[in-house]
Structure 1
């Protein structure tokens, strides 16, 4: 039996998803697309939408939610001096351009291909993050701007392709290759997401403009009804998550981050 977007269950699932995503966004510096996208993908299919359209709408809408969350999470981390703005700007600008390209590629791929890529990328990032210390007291971060340009391109492309803010890609890169500690990686990741989610959102709007089969209140591949139900509770919860992050041991934050990534990655591949 098909579900409609106005049913209480549909609305409740999205509101709870938005709140949980906001907490995770503030706590771990990730956009939460790896949570929002699978849930929206399932819900949109339950309304009768074709899978290929459903996954693009899920990815595009998630990016638009992430844009709002990222702005407020970044402000919180900036107040705690955990955002490296020079590095974030370099990665963010290169990532913005690349995320637009990733969104264009996503509009040409099937749902099964996108979900498999999504799962594999997240699991690989989780495994590499697990083996990297959360706190680095003696190692200086990389200073070569070229390294940050390449990092931004990788983060941005996968952000646009997979409908994620880029934190699940960016945090492992910053920890492993750029020698950030966990808290600065989280804060800087949030700042980068402002750029990448903006570029990716624009890509999904433009590439989905005029597409038939999309639900009411759609702006390209972005569904504004879903966006509203996700972004309001997400915004309220994200600020609290950022406050809690500075009270928790960075190693615990890392382990939570890794567990979430592995679970969602396996789910998108279809293992669980």
Structure 2
């Protein structure tokens, strides 16, 4: 329980600070804890995905509200990204509900590595110029981010923030704020799907509704929501460079762990 509380606090803070949902942190920890109590890996991974999204939704709503109050949410792009992300989240969660655990773990690792190296290799733009993009471009990127959100139990912000900032040239604070609004929509699509596809699943941990485990949900949420407010305040007061690099290091470790590299090399971590 302590591990989950600490995880929730860290996820909430990084969510508010960097505009990411925190699924890359929550999913592996939940997965390993569930397998330790005897839940089969295929079920444990889907429970981790679903519960992660259920934690991300209220955390993202709180973070988006905080950024909106500071003028850092682009409303129209957020709505277009969010609606397309919701449908993408449904498709991603449907895919994850029937894909093999090996494939899902490997894809999770690949996306985590890609996001980490992307964050290393590009400098965030601080341009204050207003950018104009077509609805179709927002819809496409929203669907991509939403699909990854539902497929891997992540908010999608770790993909969406670089897209908004690097490709669509949003200033970094507006990229983070708009990403938080997108995450709320995208995670909702995945949650609905995991609730439906998990109704008749067997071997679930106690106190589960569909693939969402209430015990883990409460433990993670109780610390993530208040810490998201702290992260929002820090995002508008402090440079996030050092924390971003710590996050990148953690992403790389989690990616290699989920891909089974350490186990393949017989390394004890």
TM-score range, shorter chain: over 0.9
Of the three residues 63, 70, 79, the one matched with 1:73 is 63
Does 2:102 match 1:143?
no
| Structure 1 partner of 2:73 | 83
Of the three residues 32, 38, 49, the one matched with 2:39 is 49
Tell me, yes or no, if the aligned pair for 1:245 and 1:253 is still in contact at 8 Å.
no
Count of equivalent residues: 262
- Write the distance in 2 (CA, Å) between the matches of 1:158 and 1:133: 23
| Structure 2 partner of 1:34 | 24
| Structure 1 partner of 2:267 | none
The unaligned stretches of length 5 or more in structure 1 are 1-10
Tell me, yes or no, if the aligned pair for 1:31 and 1:165 is still in contact at 8 Å.
yes
Question: Higher mean Cα deviation, 238-247 or 54-63?
Answer: 238-247
The unaligned stretches of length 5 or more in structure 2 are 263-269
Runs of 4+ in 1 over 6 A off after TM superposition: none
Of the three residues 174, 181, 189, the one matched with 1:191 is 181
| Structure 2 partner of 1:200 | 190
Tell me, yes or no, if the aligned pair for 1:160 and 1:197 is still in contact at 8 Å.
yes
Q: What does 1:157-236 align with in structure 2 at a 5 Å threshold? A: 157-236=147-226
Tell me, yes or no, if the aligned pair for 2:85 and 2:186 is still in contact at 8 Å.
yes
Encode CA deviations 1:83-107: one digit per residue, 9 max, x unaligned. Answer: 1111011000000011011000001
- Write the distance in 2 (CA, Å) between the matches of 1:138 and 1:78: 17
What TM-score do you get using the length of structure 1 for normalisation? 0.92
Of the three residues 10, 15, 19, the one matched with 1:20 is 10
- 1:124 Cα shift? 1.2
- 1:250 Cα shift? 5.0
What TM-score do you get using the length of structure 2 for normalisation? 0.93
- Write the distance in 1 (CA, Å) between the matches of 2:231 and 2:7: 15
| Structure 1 partner of 2:235 | 245
